[in-house]
Structure 1
Amino acid sequence: MGNVLKYFKAFDIQSLRKTCNGIRSCVDHLKPDPQIGIYGIYMKTDESISANVRVSGYQNCESILYERTEDSKDIVSKVLADFETITKHQKTCLEELRLFFSYYNLTGKPNEPLRTLIPERLNPMTSKFLAGFKEILKRRSGLLKVKKLDLFSVRAEDVMQVLPYLDPKYLEKLEINDPHYEYLRLYNRRNYPDALKIPYDIEEMAKTEQWKNLKELEVKSERISTPIQKMNLTNLSKIYITTVARITSNDIIFLKENLLTPKLKRFIICFKTFVEDPQLNDFFGPPRNTFGTRRLWYFPIPGTNREMMEIDLSENLYFESVNYYRYG
């Protein structure tokens, strides 16, 4: 049976388990690896949830639709149970784990009054799902191996329900979007209600081993309140962060000193307020180029073949590794 099972993956294994009790017991004893590449769960309403599962080496996804009915009202528990069953013996690394939520009970009607979008309309399904998801991850015999984690429409505290329970040796990429971006997607307008503008504090997640071992990070939030120097960004090679409440010249000096390594690829940090005290020219010298308020500095990266760090400061802040010939 073991020689046969090594050719079975994900849904083949689940189908085999349903054959009879004897085969189910044998499969459960042998614990074959389902070899899942991508597992995505999409929770837009409490009426319908979908899951997409792609097996490693295959192009197509298997889709599972969960719909609320009179006989099946608790679809969150069903989604969680299936995730645990399908991934229970996953030993290989998932290429990607995607969790997409609708954090507010939005109707999707473009003309819905803004006053109805208040914290009292928090979607309880999101919190219920993440609490259950955390328990599943904690019950595993070993940390789940994931290369990329996508969390869409989550608060900072929601991230901590998932991130600490993934294997830090395998997690390379993290993408986080807060509920603000769900609102923009549905309503296609930027007058985001003040009642929903909650400061986004990433300091706790930045302390985790998973965060410290990341190579790439993307965080999209309306109001990131954590100071730059408490974000633990210096081990990363690629970053896109929007929007940091405040950045200072000391932050830029700190990043320059810590990012001047061969692993640097590209950092983009969007900010609301820039405080230049002390003056950057006192530390970096005059900019190599200026275009209006835009300033560019270049510094050679040690241990590389003519690679330069380009610091591009304007309405946003860029750090990028560029070739010497581009600099010249």
Structure 2
Amino acid sequence: YNQVENGCQVIWYRSDGRREKFLENTDFLKAFCADFESNMKFQQSQMENFIINFEYFKFAHKKFLEIESKLMPQLQSILSGRNPLKTKNCSMVVFKMSSILAVLPYLDPKTIKRITMTDSKQGPVPDIGKWRIDELMELPHWKNAEQVDIIDVFVEDVPVEKFLAFKRVYIYVEVVNMEQVLEWKEAFLHSPTLDSILIKFSSSDAVSRFISTYGDPVSDIDMFGSQRKCWFFKVPSVQVSLYDAQFRIQRLEEFPENVRVVSEFWEHKFPVSLAAVGFEECL
């Protein structure tokens, strides 16, 4: 849907090639919303993906922000007027948390498996913004989904207990200290569902504190070509990896050979198994 002189140009593709139509004296957002409403009226089966993507372009930032501000209330009105839309995955690249809250409540919480949210302003913009997710965490969608990804934006005031029902978690936070890493580890151990946690951060004191507390690490290159430093601990089948700009907690099958295992690090009441802690400098 392109706004052109004296109207709107609509372009679509079918198996037999490109199609085009000109709508005289019509606003492109109005044309899109009319078609969206018509299509959604008959959408009863579960979709694989529901995607809204305001991709960032520096030269068009203000224009895209204006479009989002106009479009999201219209989408909210359309979706609120029908039965909850069934979709397995919801992915939104938007400028504001309010845009997510305008749409997500009207998707069926019983079918949602993955929620992905990305801040549109990222990419060439150097400063990562901040979102509060208090309202989001109270939605049934948050409680029913198996995976959540909040990308390119710092999440403020992250209560660890609100993430325990997920299978996989991927978020950004501004600062992570060693105590917070341990808090996430404890939550992971006691959660019946968590399988993987990846948290990116801007700064952390964990690397230096691990070195001073547990000695020199094992250094190697991971499968993605990034240099990492690892510590290994006896815990219940969990691997904790602390990177230069992120940390990851996930299930572990076995240790590499010939590594030193630190046994006194964790306090637990489970059968002793294996885990690793690694710091990585991402190239």
- State the TM-score, normalized to the length of structure 2: 0.70
| Structure 1 counterpart of 2:241, one-letter code | D
Count of residues in Structure 1 that have an aligned counterpart in Structure 2 = 244
Residue-by-residue CA offset, 1:290-325 (whole Å, 9 max, x unaligned): 449844454544xxxxxx111111311100112146
Matching of residue 217 in structure 1 with residue 148 in structure 2: yes
1:249 aligns with 2:178: yes
Q: Which amino acid aligns with 1:143?
A: P
Change (3 A) 1:274 1:81: same
Paired with 2:15 and 2:51, the residues of 1 have a C-alpha distance of 13
Residue type at the aligned position of 2:39:
I
- After superposition, the C-alpha distances for 1:116-153 in whole angstroms (9 at most, x for unaligned) are x6xx555322122111111111101x211111011124
Aligned residue identity for 1:211: W
Residues 71 and 99 from structure 1, CA distance in 2 versus in 1: closer, same or farther, beyond 3 angstroms? same
**Counterpart-to-counterpart distance in 2, 1:63 and 1:217:** 37
Verify the 8 A CA contact 2:95 2:121 in the aligned structure 1. Answer: no
Partners of 2:250 and 2:215 lie apart in 1 by: 15
For 1:17, the equivalent position in structure 2 comes to: none
Q: What's the CA shift string for 1:50-81, capped at 9, x where partnerless?
A: 779xxxxxxx99999787x6714312122222
SS in 2 for 1:228: coil
SS at match of 1:220: strand
Shift of 1:265: 2.6
> Gaps spanning 5+ residues in structure 1: where?
1-42, 53-59, 108-116, 185-189, 302-307
Please point out which of 123, 133, 136 is paired with 2:75: 133
- Show CA shifts across 1:79-108 (max 9, x none): 22222222223332111111112466735x
Matched, 1:317 2:247: yes
The one-letter amino acid paired with 2:67 is: M
Q: Distance in 2 between matches of 1:74 and 1:280?
A: 59
Identical amino acids, percent of aligned pairs:
19
Q: Aligned pair 1:177/2:118, yes or no?
A: yes
Q: Which consecutive unaligned segments of at least 5 residues does structure 2 have?
A: 220-226, 257-273, 276-283
Higher strand residue share: 2
Counterpart of 1:233 in structure 2 is 163
Q: Deviations over 1:153-205 (max 9, x none)?
A: 43212111111111111101111221233xx3xxxxx4x266xx542333332
- Over 3 Å counting, the alpha-carbon distance change for 1:127 and 1:264 in structure 2 is same
Which residues of 2 match residues 72-151 of structure 1 at below 5 A?
A: 72-102=25-55, 106-107=59-60, 123-140=65-82, 142-151=83-92
Q: In 2, distance between residues paired with 1:62 and 1:232?
A: 49
Pair 1:203-2:144 in alignment: no
Q: Distance in 1 between matches of 2:215 and 2:157?
A: 25
1:230-288 superposed Cα distances (whole Å, 9 cap, x missing partner): 682221112222x3111233322222122224533322111012255xx779xxx9489
> Partner of 1:268 in structure 2?
198
Q: In the aligned structure 1, how far is the partner of 2:165 from the partner of 2:47? A: 22
